[in-house]
Structure 1
Amino acid sequence: SRVQQKWKLKRRYSKEAKAAAKQGAKAAKKTAAASGTATRRAAQFVTRHPVAVLVLLLLLLLCFLVSAVSSIFPTLGSGLANALSGTSYASEDTDLLGVDEDYTALENELAQTVANIESTHPGYDEYRYSVDEIGHNPYELASYLSAKYHVYFREQVQDELREIFEAQYELTLTEEVEIRYRTETSTDPETGETTTEEVPYEYYILNVTLTNKTLPAVILPRLNEQQREIYTVMQQLKGNKPYLWEGIYNGGEDTGPSYEIPGEALDDPAFAALMKEATKYIGWPYVWGGSSPSTSFDCSGFVCWVYTASGVHNLPRTTAQGIYNQCAIISPSEAKPGDIIFFTGTYDSPGPVSHVGIYVGDGMMLHCGSPIQYANINSSYWQTHFYAFGRL
């Protein structure tokens, strides 16, 4: 009957289920036994070979580190490249040097104009000069143009060079007339008696004034805040091209502030007054066109300030060449503390004299290099560039 068939099927399914359960239990026991055996064998291997296991772990750790670092290097390299490109002059060296030559040519033309004043404006009884140093720091110009344009070409920036130049320098000629008196003697033709009298006359003076506002004072206002930050970094690093203008910071073997002037030299009141004023500024930076404590100094500005402020000699602001032109030239054997020493070829200057310092005796000078400090004039550098000694 159907009831009996259902009962038989039910009993068969029950037997099969029990058999399957027994088979699963046996398989689980075998798996557990195998797992336990593997664990015991692994433990035995670690116990017997600890060094090998440690080496294996270190190799795995090293592989992990190499994988991690290799993923960092592309980003790091890209960041380093971007940092270097942001502080480097991107223009070709030929353009960097050519642009500076063009600006120097404008300055040389100006220097020649000043030098020829007496021939181009003749007829004056006296010419009075108050002339700032003509010159610029080429790294300042290159940093400015690089910060503004990133890459620039020589022919591209000619108009801007002229604008900057005209803003940096101002040459003014002012005529001044003084009424002076001279003594004239006359003789009476009849009596032969001589008489003298003071006769007024006009004395014509041409005042020649050249003002150098300095390059930074002109170019920085032409940059926005971000460009000024780039300019500052480039200027500090010299655009990662320090070889372009190696000679502009007058070198030599500087001794710093530790040098002591021999006491006997300071017995001269004039020299003592010079040194009292000059040594105030040891360590101050070299600033192109600087001529007072408010701006710091360049080489000629330092000498002019010290001589004038000390009361030793009234030396209005002029160039190194201008100081030389006012001195009586003396031989090295005649030089004494307080004389002035001149050098040539320390940079591409308009005239033969490019650098000046105050001789302090014993083969030493105090000058505005980079920064203001003492230097041994007998070093190979200064001997190579020596020009003359002068005395005011």
Structure 2
Amino acid sequence: MSKFKVAVALCCLFSSAVLASPKPGSSINTTYRTLESRGAVSTSRHASKVVSRAHELIGTPYRWGGMSVSQGFDCSGLLVYLFRSEAGIHIPRTTSLMLGSASKDVDRANLKSGDVVFFKHNGRQRLKHAGVYIGNNKFIHAPRTGKHVRIDSLSNKYWNKSYFAAKRFH
């Protein structure tokens, strides 16, 4: 990259930081929320913490009914644990109750890191599974007995066919 392009990039970065900085008398949190609502910030601090912790839990065993690192996790138990421990947000225990909650519905095209994605088994009627979206068309979840918390792609044939909805709890 030429010195000129580097200088232009740094100038743009500096200008963005100055424009995003809070006005005198305003709080940083208010400015952050304003930027976030305008789409200038792609994820909230809560979502970022949830996703970071989810990455740390990759490899934790699946356990039906599990809601802790020591017990292992089922899919909804993982989400309850992540949102409670990392964001102080209490979400319903089951995928059906999560989906039925008053939290914001999110179109698939508008997914943001930290959103919860829901699946029906092979597109059938019964809601079966959920995970936390981490960006780049990927999500982290606790798949099933004998497996471990892992990352999968929404582009995968199975997950693409089974995708049902998404919610934003952060």
Q: TM-score normalised to the size of structure 2?
A: 0.66
Tell me, yes or no, if structure 1 residue 289 matches structure 2 residue 65. Answer: yes
Partner of 1:360: 134
Tell me, yes or no, if structure 1 residue 387 matches structure 2 residue 164. Answer: yes
Tell me, yes or no, if structure 1 residue 320 matches structure 2 residue 95. Answer: yes
Mapping of residues 342-353 of structure 1, within 5 Å: 342-345=118-121, 352-353=126-127
Partner of 2:85: 309
CA offset digits 1:273-327 (Å, max 9, x no partner): 11232222110111111111221100000011000100252225x1111111113
Q: Which amino acid is 1:366 matched to? A: I
Q: Kindly indicate whether the alpha-carbon contact (under 8 Å) linking 1:305 and 1:315 is maintained by their aligned counterparts in 2.
A: no
Q: 2: distance between equivalents of 1:304 and 1:378? A: 25
Q: Kindly indicate whether the alpha-carbon contact (under 8 Å) linking 1:347 and 1:354 is maintained by their aligned counterparts in 2.
A: no
Note the residue ranges of structure 1 that are not aligned, 5 or more in a row: 1-263
Q: 2: distance between equivalents of 1:279 and 1:362? A: 14
SS at match of 1:310: helix
Higher relative contact order (CA 8 A, sep 6+): 2
Mapping of residues 84-99 of structure 1, within 5 Å: none
Mapping of residues 32-111 of structure 1, within 5 Å: none
Partner of 1:376: 153
Q: 2: distance between equivalents of 1:312 and 1:300? A: 16
Q: Kindly indicate whether the alpha-carbon contact (under 8 Å) linking 2:59 and 2:149 is maintained by their aligned counterparts in 1.
A: yes
Q: 1: distance between equivalents of 2:90 and 2:122? A: 26
Q: 2: distance between equivalents of 1:357 and 1:303? A: 7
SS at match of 2:61: coil
SS at match of 1:303: helix
Q: Which has the larger radius of gyration?
A: 1
Which of the pair is proportionally richer in helix? Answer: 1
Mapping of residues 144-183 of structure 1, within 5 Å: none
After superposition, the Cα gap between the structure-2 partners of 1:312 and 1:332, relative to the gap in structure 1 and judged at 3 Å, is farther
Q: Kindly indicate whether the alpha-carbon contact (under 8 Å) linking 1:289 and 1:297 is maintained by their aligned counterparts in 2.
A: yes
Note the residue ranges of structure 2 that are not aligned, 5 or more in a row: 1-40
The percent of aligned pairs where both chains have the same amino acid is 25
After superposition, the Cα gap between the structure-2 partners of 1:347 and 1:284, relative to the gap in structure 1 and judged at 3 Å, is farther
Partner of 1:131: none
Q: Once superposed, which parts of structure 1, at least 4 consecutive aligned residues long, lie more than 4 Å away?
A: none
What value does the CA root-mean-square deviation take over the aligned residues? 2.3
Aligned-pair distance for 1:346? Answer: 5.7
Q: Kindly indicate whether the alpha-carbon contact (under 8 Å) linking 1:277 and 1:306 is maintained by their aligned counterparts in 2.
A: yes
Q: Which amino acid is 2:166 matched to? A: F
Partner of 2:51: 275
Q: Kindly indicate whether the alpha-carbon contact (under 8 Å) linking 1:328 and 1:390 is maintained by their aligned counterparts in 2.
A: yes
